[in-house]
Amino acid sequence: MNSSIWTDNEKKNAHFDSLKGDIKTDVLIIGGGIAGVLCAYMLKQAGVDCVLLEKGEICCGVTKDTTAKITLQHGLIYDKMINRYGYDKAKLYVKAQEKALREYSRLCKEIPCDYETKDNYVYSLKSKGKLENELDALLRLGVKAEYVSYIPVPLETKGAVKVFNQAQFNPLKFIYALAKDLPIYENTKVLELKPNEATTPNGKVQYKKAIIATHFPILNKHGGYFVKMYQHRSYSISLENATKMDGMYVDEDKKGLSFRSYENKLILCGGSHRTGKKGGGWKELEAFAEKHYNTARITNKWASQDCITLDSIPYIGMYSKSTPNLYVATGFNKWGISSSMVSAMLLVDLVRDKKNDFEEVFSPSRSILHSRLFSNIIASTIGLLTPTVPRCPHLGCALKYNKEEHSWDCSCHGSRFKESGEVIDNPATDDKKLN
């Protein structure tokens, strides 16, 4: 049962060999989730020679565990964005997301992937005022939106902000079809990344430029991503014989619940917590389902991990100022589907030395002076000073045992390990001996 609804509904029909021998390419992509596959697809469409390396199989990580909502409505972010960065930057962010939505719509016309146009709703349990402020921001930015006082979720809300004509789909059906003819090597782990050369177990890749799309970036020496982000876990269950939802619904609180339907099942997501900390997990969702959908049956249980940035805007662009031919896509703040498309559209221009209107908005080198930076530093310091074993091989923080998922998790930077010591989630790249 502990597998996502997508994994059970779509069997992989695209298989790729592992790298054997040395090769050369113009652009190397590391990471075979949706962001990496979209980068490879768009580069190939642009006539750019590229290669994608995936340490396991494509979509075997975070992508398979998404709730697969395609929307520009990333919580209540636009009022804050206008106040912090100004109208022009917020408008560029909206335009990037709108362009991503249009590109998904175009591609999904050719790919059978259960694509459906749906309205998206962000609700609040506490504040109507926050909803009204966000609605005002969206309308100023030209987004078709409205306030609704009632939504069909079994919670007492203060209403919701509705954004029209967003979408949902089956991500694995989409990606497997997209990846079919791409230059991909599976089961090919990058052991060492040097300027213009990547070393794998059975060969080297000479490259001119590289994109790291490994969810959490794998290079510690540059960019400072281990202080610019933390990781957050969310849990999902799918319910048979539950109320069908027409639309997508998400709480503005990161610890709240989200709802969407797929075929005859309801997907309920929540129980969230910072990786390495305690949270509600599946037990919270199961208790909610028992109370509000007591005739339903749980068919799937799964969990996902998200990189949270300092200002709720992804890091997409040059990896750091000191690495001119290295690029990154990370920090999607729970909105990896739309942000992966934005990443591909932006990076396909940057690696070709083309100007992109959205470059500054998503620049990984923008200011890190945000209050969340200090909370990240405090959490890391506590993890480093906690006198327990085992320790994370990434930067030496204490690992904590996750009873619900039977894993060892790092509260500093979010690395996770199986009980056997095999690494599950980066930034750690090596297995850990736990016994």
Percent of the chain scoring above 70 in pLDDT: 100
Same domain, 316 and 421: no
Distances (CA, A) of 253 to 49, 210, 271: 43, 36, 11
Report residue 134's pLDDT band, with 50, 70 and 90 as the boundaries: very high
pTM: 0.95
Handedness of CA 280, 286, 290, 294 (dihedral sign): positive
Alpha carbon 44 to chain centroid distance? 23
Of 277 and 285, the structure prediction assigns the larger pLDDT to: 285
Same domain, 317 and 414: no
Same domain, 356 and 383: no
Same domain, 383 and 416: yes
Is-contact 238 317, C-beta < 8 A? no
Q: Is the link from the previous residue into 390 a cis peptide, with omega within 30 of 0?
A: yes
pLDDT recorded at residue 435: 63
- End-to-end CA, the chain: 28
Place of tokens 């470059």: 359
Identify the CATH number of the domain in which residue 344 sits.
Answer: 3.50.50.60
Same domain, 358 and 376: no
Q: How many CB atoms lie within 10 A of CB 269?
A: 25
346, pLDDT greater than 90: yes
Question: Is residue 350 one of the residues assigned to a domain?
Answer: yes
Question: Is residue 295 one of the residues assigned to a domain?
Answer: no
Distances (CA, A) of 303 to 21, 141, 166, 241, 378: 36, 34, 24, 22, 26
Q: Could you give the CA distance from residue 260 to residue 66 in angstroms, rounded to a whole number?
A: 12
Residues 87-123 have pLDDT tens digits of: 999 999 999 999 999 999 999 999 999 999 999 999 9
179, pLDDT greater than 70: yes
Query: Domain range holding 408?
Result: 371-425
Look at 31-35, 92-96, 368-372 and tell me which has the smallest mean pLDDT: 368-372
Q: Could you give the CA distance from residue 60 to residue 45 in angstroms, rounded to a whole number?
A: 24
Q: Could you give the CA distance from residue 270 to residue 235 in angstroms, rounded to a whole number?
A: 5
Identify the CATH number of the domain in which residue 397 sits.
Answer: 2.102.10.10
Helix/strand/coil for 210? strand
Question: Is residue 22 one of the residues assigned to a domain?
Answer: yes
Question: Is residue 278 one of the residues assigned to a domain?
Answer: no
pLDDT recorded at residue 388: 78
Q: Could you give the CA distance from residue 195 to residue 202 in angstroms, rounded to a whole number?
A: 19
Same domain, 320 and 420: no
Question: Is residue 57 one of the residues assigned to a domain?
Answer: yes
Residues 55-97 have pLDDT tens digits of: 999 999 999 999 999 999 999 999 999 999 999 999 999 999 9
pLDDT recorded at residue 1: 56
Show Cβ contacts of residue 163 under 8 Å, excluding neighbours closer than 6 positions. 71, 72, 73, 119, 120, 121, 138, 143, 144, 145
Q: How many CB atoms lie within 10 A of CB 161?
A: 27
User: For the chain, how many structural domains are there in total?
Assistant: 2
Which pair of structure tokens corresponds to residue 402? 């996750």
Show Cβ contacts of residue 369 under 8 Å, excluding neighbours closer than 6 positions. none
Look at 90-94, 164-168, 317-321, 396-400 and tell me which has the smallest mean pLDDT: 396-400
Q: Could you give the CA distance from residue 201 to residue 92 in angstroms, rounded to a whole number?
A: 42
Query: What mean pLDDT is predicted for residues 166-192?
Result: 96
Q: Where are the beta strands (DSSP E) in 62-134?
A: 69-70, 116-123
Question: Is residue 199 one of the residues assigned to a domain?
Answer: yes
Report residue 374's pLDDT band, with 50, 70 and 90 as the boundaries: confident
Question: Is residue 148 one of the residues assigned to a domain?
Answer: no
Question: Is residue 36 one of the residues assigned to a domain?
Answer: yes
